[in-house]
């Protein structure tokens, strides 16, 4: 029995160490500066060998020491601050809240005019929203290439005057950088909470990328919707101030959404906090816990089908696009 436990723990330790060393290898590839402190540790190890004429004992401890050093180094590497971000993420949204907390003015709301995915005219707007007139919020999930386990998540905030404001946490790419899931683990990209129009953020996905986009109305009171919107404002302000790096697993497009939903559903189960890693299940969890506006007796699959926007639902011009996608959802 003791031998079984011993070998089990040894196997587990070796497995974890292998994963940690693999992550360290990626760190050295994507952040070469991290090789400097690692090199110092290896030099100390080599000096020991030269002096003692033998390998130092406790090899696993040395390797775990190397992993810990890499983790500390990674934590100390600042988020990216390139000379130029790629055009779709070039500007930070900026916010001004009135003294009484009722009027929110947002500068650099993205409203690009598209002719294709890569052919567009950059446009930005400045809008003032009366937070007393917010009527609700919608959750959007976007799947591509047939993937169900992974999606991009967004939020729409709806106002009594017919305007809709989208918040989308996105990978902010420096000029000349291409996005990869592995590179997203090593502070290669920034994190931007993009504020934009539905005609831009959703229209790009439905009308030009032809991705599978679902728009799901939430059971969120105007007060809760207001709190969620202001939370996203705070998240973007913090990301801009701290130069927050995007992280594929720990700080991605769904992390802020998951945390923000706590205002609507504070009693979600513990595994809800793990959903940023497999965010394709967020919609189902929200449905199962009564957070979305489903119809009596409606199954999740029927609800999801009803909320599917399809390709080219309307021209990406205001206000036709927003009206068309909501009319489609309500009529089905």
pLDDT on residue 57: 56
Q: Which residue has the higher pLDDT, 245 or 42?
A: 245
Of all residues in the chain, the percent with pLDDT exceeding 70 is 96
pLDDT band, residue 195 (cuts 50/70/90): very high
Among 22, 44, 76, the domain-final residue is: 76
Structural domain includes residue 11: yes
Choose one of 54, 76, 98: the last residue of a domain.
76
- The pLDDT score that the predictor gives to residue 190 is 97
- Per residue, the 3-state secondary structure of the chain, as one string, reads CHHHHHHHHHHHHHHHHHHHHHHHHHHHHHCHHHHHHHHHHHHHHHHHHHHHCCCCCCHHHHHHHHHHHHHHHHHHCCCCCCCCECHHHCCCCEEEECCCCCEEEEEEEECCEECCCCCEECCEEEEEEEHHHEEEEEEEEEECCCCCCCCEEEEEEEECCCCEEEEEEEEECECCCCCCCCHHHCCCCEEEEEEEEHHHHHHHHHHHCCCEEEEEEECCCHHHHHHHHHHHHHHHHHHHHHCCECECCCECCCHHHHHHHCCCCCCCCHHHHHCCCCHHHHHHHHHHCCCECCCCCCCHHHHHHHHECCCCCCCCCCCHHHHHHHHHHHHC
Residues 99 and 209 both lie in one domain: yes
Residue 147 domain-assigned?
yes
Q: Is residue 14 scored above 60 in pLDDT?
A: yes
Minimal CA–CA distance to 82: which of 157, 176, 5? 176
Write out pLDDT tens, residues 57-73: 567 887 888 899 999 99
Q: Are residues 166 and 233 in the same domain?
A: yes
Does residue 32 belong to any structural domain of this protein? yes
- Give the chain's domain count: 2
Confidence of residue 270 (pLDDT cuts 50, 70, 90): confident
Quickly state the pLDDT bin for 52 (edges 50, 70, 90): low
Looking at the fold, whether 164 and 273 belong to one and the same domain comes out as yes
pLDDT at 332 over 70: no
Query: Are 109 and 57 in the same domain?
Result: no
Residue 265 has pLDDT above 80, yes or no: no
How does pLDDT run across 208-223, given as a tens digit for each residue?
Answer: 999 999 999 999 999 9
Q: Regarding predicted confidence, which is higher, 41 or 72?
A: 72
Domain residue limits at 217: 87-331
Q: Looking at 12, 47, 76, which one is the last position of a domain?
A: 76
Q: In terms of domains, do 38 and 186 share one?
A: no
pLDDT for the residue 60: 80
Per-residue pLDDT band at 6 (split at 50, 70, 90): confident
Please check whether residue 81 lies inside any domain of the structure.
Answer: no
Whether 112 and 204 share a structural domain? yes
Q: Given a cut of 70, is residue 53 above it in pLDDT?
A: no
pLDDT greater than 80 at residue 45: no
Pair 91, 211 in one domain: yes
Q: Is the pLDDT of residue 173 over 80?
A: yes
Helices 59-76 and 2-30: angle between axes, nearest 10 degrees: 40
> Which of 51-60, 64-73, 92-101, 187-196 shows the lowest per-residue confidence on average (mean pLDDT)?
51-60
**pLDDT per position as a tens digit, 131-167:** 999 999 999 999 998 888 899 999 999 999 999 999 9
CB atoms within 10 A of CB 81: 9
Least confident range from 88-97, 177-186, 198-207, 274-283: namely 274-283
Asked, for residue 82, whether it belongs to a domain, the answer is no
Structure token digits, residue 91? 């500007």
More reliable by pLDDT, 319 or 107: 107
Contact between 310 and 212 (Cβ < 8 Å): no
- Tell me, yes or no, whether 213 and 306 share the same domain: yes
Confidence of residue 116 (pLDDT cuts 50, 70, 90): very high
Pairwise pLDDT comparison (57 vs 77), residue with the higher score: 77
Give the residue-averaged pLDDT of 297-317.
Answer: 92
Both 114 and 245 in one domain: the answer is: yes
Residue of higher predicted confidence among 305 and 328 = 305
d(CA 183, CA 29): 9
Residue 102 and residue 216 in one domain: yes
Residues 142 and 243 placed together within one structural domain of the fold: yes
pLDDT tens per residue across span 273-293: 778 888 888 999 999 989 999
- In this predicted structure, what is the pLDDT of residue 32? 94
66 lies in the same domain as 96: no
């Amino acid at each position: 029995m003791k031998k079984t436990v011993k070998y089990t723990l040894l196997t587990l330790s070796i497995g974890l160490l292998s994963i940690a060393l693999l992550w360290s290898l990626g760190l050295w590839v994507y952040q070469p500066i991290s090789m400097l402190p690692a090199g110092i540790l290896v030099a100390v190890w080599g000096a020991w060998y030269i002096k003692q004429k033998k390998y130092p004992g406790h090899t696993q401890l040395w390797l775990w020491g190397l992993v810990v050093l890499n983790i500390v180094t990674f934590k100390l590497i600042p988020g990216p601050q390139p000379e130029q971000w790629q055009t779709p993420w070039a500007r930070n949204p900026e916010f001004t809240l009135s003294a009484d907390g009722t009027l929110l003015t947002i500068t650099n709301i993205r409203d690009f005019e598209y002719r294709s995915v890569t052919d567009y005219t950059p446009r930005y707007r400045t809008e003032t929203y009366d937070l007393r007139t917010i009527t609700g919020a919608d959750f959007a999930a976007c799947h591509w290439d047939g993937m169900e386990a992974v999606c991009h998540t967004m939020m729409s905030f709806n106002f009594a005057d017919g305007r809709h404001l989208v918040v989308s946490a996105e990978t902010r790419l420096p000029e000349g950088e291409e996005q990869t899931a592995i590179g997203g683990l090593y502070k290669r990209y920034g994190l931007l909470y993009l504020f934009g129009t539905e005609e831009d953020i959703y229209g790009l996905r439905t009308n030009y990328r032809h991705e599978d986009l679902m728009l799901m109305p939430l059971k969120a009171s105007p007060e809760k919707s207001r709190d969620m919107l202001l939370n996203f404002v705070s998240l973007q302000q913090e990301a801009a101030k701290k130069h927050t790096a995007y992280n594929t697993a720990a700080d991605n497009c769904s992390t802020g959404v998951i945390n923000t939903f706590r205002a609507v559903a504070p009693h979600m189960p513990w595994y809800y906090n793990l959903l940023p890693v497999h965010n394709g299940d967020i919609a189902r969890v929200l449905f199962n816990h009564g957070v979305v506006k489903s119809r009596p007796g409606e199954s999740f699959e029927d609800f999801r089908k009803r909320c599917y926007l399809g390709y080219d639902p309307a021209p990406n011009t205001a206000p036709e696009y927003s009206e068309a996608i909501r009319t489609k959802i309500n009529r089905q």
